[in-house]
Homo-oligomer: A and B are copies of this chain.
Amino acid sequence: MRLLALLFVMTTLAAGQPRPSLVITHSEAQAMHAALGSVPLLDSTYARARALLEDAFAKPMDVPRPVDAGGYTHERHKLNYTQMQTAGVLYAMTGEPRYAQFVRDMLLLYAELYPTLGLHPKANSEESGGRLFWQTLNETVWLVHVAQAYDCVYEALAPAERLRIENSVLRPMAGYFTGPHAAEHDRIHNHGTWMVTSVGMLGFALRDADLVDKALFGTKKDRKGGFVRQLDLLFSPDGYYTEGPYYTRYALMPFYLFAQAIDHNRPEMHIFAYRDSILAKALTIGVQQLTPAGRFIPYNDALKEMAITAKEMVSSLDVTYARGGHNPQLLDIAERQGVVMLSGAGLEVARDIAARKQHPFRFASVELLDGPEGKSGAVGLLRAFPANEQSLLVLKYAAQGMGHGHFDRLGFSLYEQEREVIQDYGSVRFINVEPKFGGRYLEENRTWSKQTIAHNTVTVDERSQFEGSTAAGEKSPGVRHFFAAGDAAVQVMSGRESAAYSGVQMQRTMALVQSPMFSRPVVIDVFRCVSAASHTYDLPFYYMGQLVNTSVRYDAATAMRTPLGTRDGYQHLWREASGRTDGTVQFSWLQHRRYYTVTSAADSGTEVLFVRIGANDPNFNLRNEPAVILRRAARSSVFASVIEPHGEFEPVQEISNDAQPRVQNVRVIAATEEGTVVEVTGKGAFRWRFMVANGAADPTVRHTIEAAGELFSWTGPWALQQ
């Protein structure tokens, strides 16, 4: 039905429509100009835009021959497209000729340069290489900006200038994308999104319906690729984007820009309503993937600093607000961004913030179901809000997430105090830092950060999940067991993985519990591995902070350090200390103003490894951060742990209290096909029993286990007896 409906809207573009008409329209430009002086956020954004161009006018124009991937010429071409796009908008708003002249002069320089370029000297391959940039990805971003700039100043150009610019650079570039790079153009992937957007935006700017249709439906216009297909496949029904939050931010922007241009030029497509308003859902669920500090949760390839203030999120959010139902919670986020897009949508946001229409954004516990049908596992987010501070627990049992995905099935991370407490390493890359391999992904991104041992999940036999094959990982997503966030006092989520390691079934259940027994929410973690064969199971906790105490008697490698292994990431871990223990393992660390303790059930075979990242790192690319690894050789095994925040440390007033945890012991009482029973005990006659169903997650089924002379019974997938 959906496809049929769209087939009929391939209308011819109205050649006589007033310009600009892509992301902003002529009337929007007029409205912005008229609103100047009365809408603070518009004024400050406008002032910043003018300052950018004043700076550009004050310095020599430069369109250099591209030589690097992250150095001057790379950055210069990025600056150039930003300046041109901004100048275009300013011209549309003010009609000042100097802005149009700036775009014209620069485009004429590009028209001279571009035809002389072959493959970029730093290109990784013919396949991914651009001409102006080392990868086509950046080149598509260039064209997305330039198409807008060109549309804005089109009327100010002489016909000969238009001809020269279109024939020497704009059309050849689009031809490069839809011709030699057709496979990338038609790929269901964020690179594909940027490419179709660049082609489609240029199509609108040139009134070229053929280009627009290729962008919308693929180079063969067969709907196997192109923008619409991407809307179908890249998001779950809830709007979750499979690459994860860091790439969500990057991938979203072209969706919204192009959607805005489509809406202005082919309003009959109702693109914002498409797939039950998938674009509005994607933006909102993208915002949900922020840490308490406003950064994107950094699983998969991600730079940890990336935040809601990223420029890509500004335009996406503004468009969503204006075209996606004026959700007042988005204004709260826009206010934190502190800047709007110079467009009709941005004007609406600025105006409504000035009118105090914003409501607080409701960060919630949410299960991010993955896959186009929402059936490829999920990322579970549990949040708790005691006092004025948020705890966030993240458990990943989702799909692989394409090429930037990590082998981190059933990995978790934990946030408190607006900080990482148990971290996900993120990627190994120094974005745009030229001396660091031109700002590209570094070798250690593959050898370290993608590997399973780099994550807070079980590595089996010192090998990464799926033997490190992305293709194998893509074939087999994680499996949700259950997600129960209805009761704020006890929220539980559980995921499964049985394909990552042949013959090993894994199930991890994590609970975030608020109790008067504890000053802060505590985490219960039950990780069960089942196999018919014997394996080594390694479970790390990449804690952030300074180790202050442990129950483990260890030998410290004080005078010589060697790596923990030779491959699959183990070669990057220094062994700092190790010991064997039984009964209970405890280790405590201090992070900022609070203590944290992991208390974990151990048996006599448990080895505890204290490690630090940084071995085999000849170029100093890794952060030298610590972890404690619980290692066990067994056929089947349950790692049962409690993570307890406790006490207070305040170094200026020299206050320290409750450096010792309440929890003293964690014990696995039973682990059967039916279920797992874990007992947590501690000071003050404190005792919890946590029970998880190991079969189906039926809320009505009653489970009974007899163990240690006791009968344990509960109904539904889990229970906590306090």
Contact = CB atoms under 8 A, between A and B. Distances in A.
Interface residues of A, number: 55
B559 A431 contact: no
Given A559-B562, A560-B561, A618-B558, A70 B656 contact: yes
Nearest to A561: B561
Nearest to A590: B433
Contacts of A549: 435
A618 B556 contact: yes
Contacts of A125: none
A83 to B, nearest CB: 14
B560 A560 contact: yes
Interface stretch (A143-151, A217-225, A304-312, A678-686): A304-312
Interface string A570-584: 000010110000000
A654 B429 CA distance: 12
Nearest to A547: B620
Interface in A61-80: 70-72, 75
Interface string A300-337: 00010111011100000000000000000000000000
Given A561-B574, A651-B305, A659 B616 contact: no
B431 A654 contact: yes
Nearest to A71: B659
A434 B618 contact: no
A130 B259 CA distance: 75
B310 A588 contact: no
Contacts of A651: 303, 305-306, 431
Interface string A263-292: 000000000000000000000000000000
A618 B577 CA distance: 8
Contacts of A561: 560-562, 574, 615
Interface in A432-473: 432-436, 439
A433 B75 contact: no
A362 to B, nearest CB: 24
A146 B556 CA distance: 46
Contacts of A624: 612, 624
A489 B588 CA distance: 49
A30 interface: no
Contact of A652 (B307, B433, B559): B307
Contacts of A430: 546, 548, 590
Given A620-B546, A620-B547, A624-B612, A432 B559 contact: no
Contacts of A303: 651
A430 B303 CA distance: 31
Contact of A548 (B435, B546, B556): B435
A311 B653 contact: yes
Interface string A529-548: 00000000000000000111
Nearest to A620: B547
Interface in A598-627: 610, 612, 614-618, 620, 623-624
Given A75-B656, A430-B548, 11 more contacts: A72-B657, A305-B652, A306-B651, A309-B652, A310-B653, A432-B654, A439-B656, A559-B615, A560-B560, A561-B562, A624-B624
25 contacts: A70-B656, A305-B652, A306-B651, A306-B652, A307-B652, A311-B653, A431-B654, A431-B656, A432-B649, A433-B656, A435-B548, A435-B549, A435-B588, A435-B659, A546-B620, A556-B617, A556-B618, A558-B616, A559-B562, A560-B561, A577-B618, A610-B620, A612-B614, A612-B624, A624-B624
Interface of A: 70-72, 75, 303, 305-307, 309-311, 430-436, 439, 546-549, 556, 558-563, 574, 576-577, 588, 590, 610, 612, 614-618, 620, 623-624, 649, 651-657, 659-660
